[in-house]
A and B are shown apart, each in its own frame.
Chain A
Amino acid sequence: MELIVFVLASAMMLIGAFGVITRRNPVHAALSLVLTLFGVAVHFVALEAYFLAAVQIIVYAGAIVVLFLFVIMLLGVDKAEDLHTEPLVAQRWLAGVAGLGLLGLLVIAVSRGVEMLTTRAEGLATSTEGASGDANIQQLARSVFGDYVVAFELTSILLVVAVVGTVMLARRRVPGES
């Protein structure tokens, strides 16, 4: 049963990911991205991380991709882009190299980590078996607002700074008036 879900969700993710880079229409690419994000949410549910699945849908599918689509619609770039002009020289080669590098790193990390994941499994020892549906969230809250609270707050400050910075940079000043 788990295997079937895993295969289906992974297929969903891969088809979506493939769609993101092959579809010429930006809206279609964004929709493919939604498919991928849903696949990730299904994986989370299969791993009994229900809260993460919900957040995945609410934040990524519900807010971020909607924002992408909003920008695409607002700027009217919904025509197929001409792929023959390269604004940055050799960016495709560099992207290919970076992609291969990332793949290599992931393969190494997983193959190194497989022993940790299957044998020691310290992080996975806390089971939600038999607990109520809220146990999941309580564990998450304890680590986010307890163990890693400083990192969490720093991240939120970083995000606020990024937002304020974007507003300041994107603001258009009318020349001639001070």
Chain B
Amino acid sequence: MLALDPLLEGGLLWTPLLIVLLKVVVVFVIGLVATMLMVWFERKVIAGMQNRIGPNKAGPFGLLQTLADGIKLFFKEDLIPRRSDRFVFALAPFLALVPAFLAFSIIPLGGDFRDGNDGIVTWFGVETRVQLADPHIGVLFALAISSIAVYGIMLAGWSSGSKYPLLGSVRASAQMVSYEAALGLSLASVILVSGTLSTSGIVGTQTTLTNWNVAATGIVPFIIFLIAATAELNRPPFDLVEAEQELVGGFNTEYSSIRFALFFLAEFMNTVTMSALVVTLFFGGPQPPSYGGVTLDIPLIPNGLEGTIWLLAKVVVFLYIYVWFRASLPRLRYDQLMDFGWKVLIPASLGWFILLAAQRLARNEDWNIFATTAIAVAVLGVCYVLMQAAFAVSNKTREREGAQF
């Protein structure tokens, strides 16, 4: 029973071990460099949208600005507030950073998924995938990691021993736990359609444009996933966790120097990871766009490498969308945030999931698919009316009892 350690099966093989080590290093470096470029990209794009120039002094186009800021942060004084809980205060930045890097490890970063290939490439005579890990639980790993990520922010706020960070972290925990449900439910639609949990398997099923999960699941789970992911990331318009105008700085008010930099790094790393996850789940990951037998192929580049280029292109689109959100949307009020999460996103994703499940069952059992869909829609309609009635009653009761919120 060496299932725990596939590397040791049949003696110690050095090549797979070295490949894994190489992958770890590459993923780590990609993570750091992507974060650096993302910070630059965000500042530059926002500057463009606000008719400014943005960073333009350090390096060509200001590309090295983030590096300069990072080095500056390293040399700043590291403060630990007297009323803080020292151990948890020191631990929190790492609890934020580590999940950010871990989640990146399950993203297929390339490989050839075309013509029935399942993305396996041969490096130095060893068959492997262009992703650090392909765990059995696949995307559930991402979900587990994103549910761990809340600890960093929460404990940072609590351990600072100060009011504003505490408020920020209380908001963070409520927000992230609420939106995680919507995130998981829209993810369930993808898993239902793909029939597998593994990220490479999910990419493998998205062969043509109509098979891309954004079309195959109907567009609703994608929209819900994107919104819930933005809330999970605490990015605008869901950045109540670090609302500068209300909370001084939010959960990271008391942090300085490199500890602050770690939070910053984690936040941008998470944005990159989440974009890559959206692309993997809904937009075919490294698959090139292909429709009706015509595949958009980049000439002269091997298919495996081409996957990486497609992935990168798609991820950049989503990073741009996140920056766009930040530049154009005002922050939600706290009650709006909670209402939106619990009363709109979660019921919508659950209803859509049930609809997809009904269709799937109809196809498996050879029922009339239109009749099944119609019945499912009717049942969901009744549920919707009941839910609205419940909201109406609760609002009336609130008003009668004189509730303030």
Contact = CB atoms under 8 A, between A and B. Distances in A.
Contacts of B4: 1-2, 5, 45-46
Interface stretch (A10-18, A56-64, A100-108, A147-155): A56-64
Given A137-B197, A174-B402, A27 B2 contact: no
B401 A2 contact: no
Interface residues of B, number: 40
Given A57-B147, A69-B173, A51 B137 contact: yes
Given A54-B144, A133-B137, A69 B5 contact: no
B147 A62 contact: yes
Specify the main secondary structure of chain A where it touches its partner.
Answer: helix
Interface in B109-141: 135-138, 140-141
A68 B150 CA distance: 13
Interface string B65-85: 000000000000000000001
Interface string B157-201: 110000000100110011011001000100000000001111000
B316 to A, nearest CB: 30
B174 A58 contact: no
The listed residue with most A CB atoms (<10 A of its CB), out of B147, B154, B184, is: B147
Nearest to B401: A174
B1 A74 contact: no
Given A2-B1, A74-B170, A173-B401, A54 B196 contact: no
B209 interface: no
A78 B159 CA distance: 10
The listed residue with most B CB atoms (<10 A of its CB), out of A1, A27, A62, is: A62
Nearest to A48: B3
A130 to B, nearest CB: 11
A55 to B, nearest CB: 8
Instruction: Categorize the interface residue count of chain A.
Output: 35 or more
A58 B145 CA distance: 8
Contact of A34 (B88, B151, B401): B151
B342 to A, nearest CB: 13
Contacts of A57: 144, 147-148
B147 A58 contact: yes
A61 B158 contact: no
B150 A54 contact: no
Contacts of A70: 154, 170, 173-174, 177
B62 to A, nearest CB: 38
Interface in A16-37: 25, 27-28, 31, 34
B143 interface: yes
Given A133-B138, A134-B196, A66 B151 contact: yes
A29 to B, nearest CB: 12
A8 to B, nearest CB: 12
B52 interface: no
B170 A54 contact: no
B47 interface: no
B17 interface: no
Contacts of A45: 4
Contact of A133 (B136, B144, B169): B136
B204 to A, nearest CB: 12
Contacts of A73: 154, 157-158, 166, 169-170, 173
Contacts of B401: 173-174, 177
A27 B88 contact: yes
A50 B135 CA distance: 9
Given A74-B170, A134-B196, A134-B197, A54 B177 contact: no
Contacts of A136: 136
B400 interface: yes
B8 interface: yes
Interface string B27-57: 0000000000000000000000000000000
A66 B197 contact: no
Contacts of A40: none
A67 interface: yes
A58 B176 CA distance: 12
Contacts of A46: 4
A1 B197 contact: no
Contacts of B88: 27-28, 31
A27 B85 contact: yes
Interface in B77-97: 85, 88
B137 A63 contact: no
A177 B136 contact: no
Nearest to B169: A73
The listed residue with most A CB atoms (<10 A of its CB), out of B5, B173, B400, is: B173
Interface of A: 1-2, 5, 25, 27-28, 31, 34, 45-46, 48, 50-51, 53-55, 57-58, 61-63, 66-67, 69-70, 73-74, 78, 132-134, 136-137, 173-174, 177
Given A2-B1, A50-B137, A69-B154, 13 more contacts: A27-B88, A27-B158, A34-B151, A51-B137, A54-B140, A62-B144, A62-B148, A66-B176, A67-B177, A70-B154, A73-B173, A133-B138, A133-B198
10 contacts: A1-B5, A54-B140, A54-B144, A61-B147, A66-B154, A66-B177, A134-B195, A136-B136, A174-B402, A177-B400
Interface of B: 1-5, 8, 85, 88, 135-138, 140-141, 143-144, 147-148, 150-151, 154-155, 157-158, 166, 169-170, 173-174, 176-177, 180, 184, 195-198, 400-402
